[in-house]
Structure 1
Amino acid sequence: MPVPADAASGVADGVPNQSAAAKPVVRLDDVRRHFGTTPALDGISLTVAKGEILGLIGRSGAGKSTLIRCLNGLERPDSGVIEIEGSDIVGLSEEQLQPLRRRIGMIFQHFNLLSAKTVEDNVALPLKIAGWDRAKRLARARELLDLVGLTDKARAYPRALSGGQKQRVGIARALAANPALILSDEATSALDPETTGSILALLKDINARLGVTILLITHEMEVVRQVADRVAVIDKGRIVEEGPVWSVFSRPEADTTKALLSGVRASLPRHVAARLAPSATARGEMIVSIDITGPQAATLLPGLATEIAGWRLIHGGVETIQERPVGRFFLALPVSSLATLQAHLVPSGAHLEVLGHVADDV
């Protein structure tokens, strides 16, 4: 199915274009929320463009849950602006929040399905609350069950479904009222890796087909890598880093981001790291890391072979993130080769870091 024009124009190369960025679905400005003297949100400013998938990632206790509760009006910030489709929700009464909440769909970690209702009735529940008659809401529910691949489960009950199927029902329910924004709160944390992959593929497909904006709250960098256009990293109630996924994955700057990426990004083997020394020895080698993006990532090592003698690849390689080659290499080479290596890397924009020295071959 063709991608709607408004969805296709919202994000380019992982960065919202000016038109989309001018009218974000979500805009937060200096949002603060304290519990006693503890800041849960400490000056959060963030936008989510129309049609974008933004991954908000952080450790437990970083402020993710408080932020999502502020976005759907379940928690009131102490100060700051929270706009959903241009409307500031901070000062709204509970009655005034109701129509706005219908513009926000929620996907939960543990599905939150009603066990006594059929699958189609679970999907149709938001429409029942909104006052739709039964025939129309069931027709809409069946349309959405077809979208998520569960047409044959309409009359089943949640107890008969697998975890992945339950989450597909949750996604269908979140879409019931044609929301402008989907909030996904750790939606894949309770699923196995294979099922997680299928759910993320479904979310990506729905985003492309319907142009719906998605904010993914997660602690899993692999989830962000697979589905998000952009990532924001939250730590101790603050956004410490944000940018296109390929950019943040290729060269993380914040210590929190580096720690979160440690499980999905190539790193120096432990047996080498354990032998690193700060100073060179007469017969030793220098250990360096190289981060590089773009087509030149695939040609970096062959190019080095013609200019530098005696280097060796210890670890690393090239992967594709958001259709961009992203390379990370760990090399051992003679200390005398550093200047030549630096000159070779300048045209490519690669980032070079000297990690230390080893006394002999590793």
Structure 2
Amino acid sequence: MTQLFEVATPDTALLRGVTESAHSPLRAQNNVVRLQGISRRFGHTQALRDVSLTLQKGEILGLIGRSGAGKSTLIRCLNGLEQPDSGVIEIEGRNITGLSEKQLQAVRSRVGMVFQHFNLLSAKTVAQNVALPLKIAGMDKAQRQQRVAELLELVGLADKAQHYPAALSGGQKQRVGIARALAASPALLLCDEATSALDPETTRSILALLKSLNQKLGITILLITHEMEVIKSVAHRVAVIDGGEIIEHGPVWQVFADPQSAVTRTLLRGLLPQLPDNLAARLSQQKQGEVIYCVHAAGDDAQGDLLTRFAAALPGKFRLLQGGVEHIQHYAVVRFFIALPASNIADEQQILSWLHTQQAQVERVGYVASHD
């Protein structure tokens, strides 16, 4: 079992927002979305269980979870396609739970939707696809044309207005989808696996576009995905959903630095330094050979090149096995693995003491029988 030696971080509940005061007057004014105690069951399946979240004006929240975790049900509740069994959903302060289909139409005009597979009409041009929600809303032709031109310029497709979807690349189709979702100037943009059907390079360009739109328009974005790399690229906060429950929630940099749940650690596995496979396969909890530690630090505690200072302070006391520094949301996130002789208790205590003074977290992950 992993043993935790230090958890010397600022107040976790405050930083992670788990107990955020969503009901304070100032925060309430800024809330574009407030979910309180949302539950939804389909037969014997509990799709959502007591979900509470807020999205403030101008922020990007990443909602991440594996297939079947509840992401799709949550987004369908947000756009009114599903009604929760219990709880409250507010969009810009208006409770949408229990509204009729006619009443929901006004709410949906404030919510734009970007789909995984674009959902463009193949028989209509790019301009016609983007204009469709404006036409349905009753906007006159001249205004529609002006708005469509503005939107296509915004997403970098001004020269594709008269093309049909079949002539576009996947990334271009998604840009059309984003332009259409922005047509009615919504307060909230829901992106449902918006990059899952795209190659890595195109994904980066779409994420850069979403980030730019967030900054230029101040639009609030809920980004639903199963890819932690997507969250890392653009989101301000992340909520991890599993089994219909929010199991972890907080600023992206801090969740990356110190994931609390096994699910989050699994989702992060490809993005954070890991113990080399040859050592991981030989790990034991029986004291022998070398003891292996994992060291975490983030934010101010990770500044000033922690690893370099560590090596300078304690030369020859340990072996560096794996590690690195990430910069997420302007915060440094450090994670590295070290090994030292299990028999040298004095050096072990000196190392732990020094790391403690640096406000680092240290996990003893096990022992290996011999020097590799």
From 327, 339, 358, the counterpart of 1:348 = 358
Deviation per CA, 1:299-335, whole angstroms, max 9, x where unpaired?
3223223235331111111011111111100111133
Residue 229 of structure 1 is matched in structure 2 by 236
Structure 1 residue 347: deviation in Å? 2.9
The question of 1:122 aligning with 2:119 is answered no
Gaps of 5+ in 1: 1-12
* Pairwise CA distance, 1:265: 1.4
| AA at the equivalent of 1:62 | A
Secondary structure at the residue paired with 1:116? coil
Q: CA deviation at 1:269?
A: 1.1
Kept after mapping to 1: 8 A contact 2:321/2:337: yes
Map of 2:306 onto structure 1: 300
Matched, 1:317 2:327: no
Task: Tell me the alpha carbon deviations over residues 135-193 of structure 1, each in whole angstroms, 9 at most, x when there is no partner.
Answer: 11121011000001000001111010000000000011111000000000000000000
Tell me the equivalent position of 1:271: 278
Q: Which residue of 1 aligns with 2:67?
A: 60
Q: Which moved more, 1:136-145 or 1:307-316?
A: 307-316
Unpaired segments of 5 or more residues in structure 2? 1-14
List aligned pairs for 1:239-258, cutoff 5 A: 239-258=246-265
1:291 aligns to 2:264 (yes or no) = no
* Alignment check: 8 A CA contact 2:301 2:359 kept: no
Q: Which amino acid aligns with 1:344?
A: W
Q: What residue number does 1:6 align with?
A: none
Superimposed CA distance per residue, residues 106-157 of structure 1 (whole angstroms, 9 cap, x where no aligned partner): 0000000001111011111111111001111121011000001000001111
Stretch of structure 1 that moved more, 212-221 or 261-270:
261-270
Which range moves more in the overlay, 22-31 or 61-70?
22-31
The within-5 A match list for 1:26-105 is 26-105=33-112
TM-score by length of 1: 0.93
Higher deviation after alignment, 13-22 or 230-239 = 13-22
Which amino acid is 1:287 matched to? I
Deviates more, 1:46-55 or 1:348-357: 348-357
* Preserved contact between residue 308 and residue 340 of structure 1 (Cα < 8 Å): no
Counterpart code for 1:136: Q
**Distance (Å, rounded) in 2 between the aligned partners of 1:356 and 1:170:** 50
1:204 alignment partner, one of 178, 201, 211:
211
> C-alpha displacement at 1:348, in angstroms?
2.5
AA aligned to 1:293 is: A
CA distance in 2, matches of 1:129, 1:302: 61
Q: Which range moved further: 328-337 or 117-126?
A: 328-337
Q: Secondary structure at the match of 1:257?
A: helix
Check whether the contact 1:41–1:237 (CA below 8 A) recurs between aligned residues: yes
**Whole-angstrom distance in 1 between the partners of 2:208 and 2:309:** 37
5 Å-filtered alignment, 1:164-243, equals: 164-243=171-250
User: Alpha-carbon deviations, 1:236-264, whole Å to 9, x = none?
Assistant: 00000000000000100011111111121
Give the counterpart letter for 2:321 in structure 1: I
Residue 103 and residue 322 in structure 1: after superposition, are their counterparts in 2 closer, same or farther (change >3 A)?
same
Post-superposition shift, 1:360?
1.7
| Number of the residue aligned with 1:5 | none
Q: Which has the higher contact order (CA 8 A, sep 6+)?
A: 2
Task: State TM-score, norm by structure 2.
Answer: 0.90
Aligned counterpart for 1:359 among listed residues 359, 366, 369: 369
Shift of 1:228: 0.2
Q: What does the per-residue CA deviation read over 1:85-104, in whole Å, with 9 as the maximum and x for residues that have no partner?
A: 00010111000000110000
Cα distance in 1 for residues equivalent to 2:318 and 2:355: 15
Matching residue of 1:25: 32
- Counterpart AA for 2:295: I
Deviation at 1:280, TM superposition (A): 2.1
State the alpha-carbon separation in 1 of the partners of residues 158 and 358 from structure 2.
51
Whole-Å separation in 1 of the counterparts to 2:320 and 2:29: 45
Distance 1:98 1:21 in 2: 23
Question: 1:341 deviation in Å?
Answer: 1.7
Cα root mean square deviation, aligned: 1.7
Is the 2:16–2:249 Cα contact (8 Å) retained in structure 1?
Answer: no
Aligned sequence identity (%): 61
Alpha-carbon deviation of 1:271? 0.4
Deviates more, 1:304-313 or 1:13-22: 13-22
Residue 21 (structure 1) shift: 5.6
Tell whether the 8 Å contact from 1:14 to 1:229 is kept in structure 2 after alignment.
no
Rounded to whole Å, the distance in 2 between the matches of 1:359 and 1:32 is 49
In the alignment, residue 355 of structure 1 is paired with which amino acid?
V
